[in-house]
Structure 1
Amino acid sequence: MSDNNSDTSAQQQQRANGTERSPSTEEKEIPREPALVHKDINIKTELECLVRLLDGKIYKDEETAMEELHQYLIEDEGSWVLGDNFLVFVQRVLREDNFSPDTRVHLIRTLAYAALKDDVIIILHQDRRDHSLMNYAQDIEKHTPEEQQAWAMFMCNLFENIGPSEWLLYISEWDYLGQTISNIRVTTKVAVHCILSNCPQLKNSGSMMLYNIAIKEVKTVVFDDIAVELAMAILQFFQSNPVEEQAFRTLKALARFLEVSADVAAIIQMIGPHPKQFAGMSERVDELVNKISRKVPA
């Protein structure tokens, strides 16, 4: 009886102090596996370069958008400070030929820095009608190598927080240039493009994206639609003799996709190479190789 009274007294004290933990609060505080992101972005330098390259080329309201972006990223105001036309400005810089590739690179790297902030989801939701960000991503292979590298950083960094990472995997569809696409399909395309690229930077970002996708706690039905495509890309990537870090990331992803789609096991057996080729690379790699081998014997 005294224990119950003690618990009640403690709860009352917590209520008085405003520190009582609700079940939902406890659930939110359960640590999740951290995503792999690019944090080596000097935002002051990126903004300075962007301002210089945009000088004399943007309208008055777009100058205001740049001032708001500075407030958001440097003065640490919330994303609410960005006006309704911010994404219109972004789309113009990304798509119009009178802006140089360097301008786009610095803008995208600036967005990659913003992607590390949890309230970037507000900006993403503003793009629900025009899909300007994902349409640009859908054309990943058409952009300059530097733009591709910057965009891969941006998409990797969106996995940093729960809301933006879930946005990347939305399944709602729209039409773009005669194709039916969705956020999850575009995210898959970018990940595959990067991991199979000859560019070391893109390969690295691709392995990070695959790892980030794999650690997401989402319904199996979401992964089932993309698991085979991503698994095939990983198997093709294995032929490039990846370094340990990238082997670990992609093996982690392959093991996850193996759990959610029965077709992945058949793909490994039919196409190969079998992950056993990485045995002995490191302890953590061996653990994943053994896990996969239990389901797909060599």
Structure 2
Amino acid sequence: MAEAVETASSAHEELSRAGPSSEALELEADERRQEEQRKRDRDPPIVYKDIDGTVEFEKFSKALEGVDLTPEERQCVDELQQYLVHGEGSWVLGDDFLLFIGRLLNDDSVSCEVRVSALRCLAAAALREDVSLVLHQDRRHHALLTHAHRIDTRPLPEQQALALFMCNLFENISSSEWLLYISEWDSNGQPLSNIRATTKVCVHATLSEDAELREVGTALMHNIATKEVKTVVFDEVCVELAMALLQLLQWAPGEEQLHRAVKALARLAQHSQEVPQLVALVGPDPAAFRGTSPRVDEQIDLIMQKVK
């Protein structure tokens, strides 16, 4: 009997060394998703649902009339119609779909109108729960975020459509997590990551002189800062985001954007000790905006609790 106990104990030790079972990992992931959903219910993301996939596809199809497409690319257009217009699942989008979109976005011979309509189709698709399955097609070529990282070189309508797409990806947990991946990949010989590309779009849009782009940029900033993630995710970008927010505050934005800014700043101050130091050293003093509205005052109080 003693030998049997020893054998069982040894087997248990072997299993322990082997790591958690797949069932345990799935349970942990499910619990994490449930907790994330509870937090999202408290801080819902700002997304733009007034975009019609059918209308956007029709514009995209019309814009493509002057573009020379291969048979495979025409198949991708048909697949997008099935997904956006007819409501089929993401399974209908083949493995070459994002290669096709990437070609349109990164080929300078393609008109701005085509790229804008393609991005607006993606912005409509971003509201679909299964869009993350499509995004993971891009893990080898990184066409979407390579394009996103060049936002400052693109025409304004393209910037607006790109920011809208990325903002709407926060509608669902899995697609928003994709935007914040920290693992690096090579982009023209330089290391880049999803979160760095996302941060560049966010900062650029938030500080834009264009009102429409700044509207979406501050929404994206709010979504990033209020998303519950491990602190390590923000380690590299927290200061950059905070500096952009402080610059925005210098412009004394209206109440809606001011609330987004101080709320994001309050969350970033919880993630990083450097942020309260920046607030104190760089300014402006958030307390100067007290009295704008009760919800703004509430966030300012949270910031000032961290500022020494």
TM-score normalised by length of structure 2: 0.86
User: Which residue pairs with 2:248 in the alignment?
Assistant: 237
Q: Bigger CA drift: 172-181 or 278-287?
A: 172-181
User: Which residue pairs with 1:285 in the alignment?
Assistant: 296
Residue segments in structure 2 that go unaligned for 5+ positions in a row: 1-26
User: Which residue pairs with 1:41 in the alignment?
Assistant: 51
Q: Which amino acid aligns with 2:175?
A: P
Among 240, 243, 265, the alignment partner of 2:276 is 265
User: Which residue pairs with 2:24 in the alignment?
Assistant: none
SS at match of 2:208: coil
Q: Deviations over 1:211-246 (max 9, x none)?
A: 101221111121222111111110011111111111
Q: Bigger CA drift: 30-39 or 195-204?
A: 30-39
Q: Percent identity?
A: 50
Q: Does 1:152 align with 2:163?
A: yes
**Paired residues for 1:42-191 under 5 Å:** 42-57=52-67, 58-191=69-202
Question: Using the alignment, how far apart are the partners of 1:224 and 1:31 within structure 2?
Answer: 21
Question: Using the alignment, how far apart are the partners of 1:201 and 1:56 within structure 2?
Answer: 29
Residue segments in structure 1 that go unaligned for 5+ positions in a row: 1-21
Q: Deviations over 1:8-53 (max 9, x none)?
A: xxxxxxxxxxxxxx99589366462321011121322221121112
Contact conserved, 2:205 with 2:213, CA < 8 A, in 1?
yes
User: Which residue pairs with 1:202 in the alignment?
Assistant: 213
Q: Does 1:295 align with 2:302?
A: no
SS at match of 1:105: helix
**Paired residues for 1:242-257 under 5 Å:** 242-257=253-268
Question: Using the alignment, how far apart are the partners of 1:242 and 1:206 within structure 2?
Answer: 13
Q: Which amino acid aligns with 2:45?
A: A
Q: Bigger CA drift: 31-40 or 145-154?
A: 31-40
User: Which residue pairs with 2:21 in the alignment?
Assistant: none
Question: Using the alignment, how far apart are the partners of 2:269 and 2:39 within structure 1?
Answer: 24
User: Which residue pairs with 1:27 in the alignment?
Assistant: 34
Q: Deviations over 1:46-74 (max 9, x none)?
A: 21121112125212221111111111111
Q: Which amino acid aligns with 1:177?
A: N
Off by >4 Å, runs of 4+ in structure 1: 22-26
- Give 1:121 shift: 0.6
Query: CA RMSD, aligned part only?
Result: 1.7
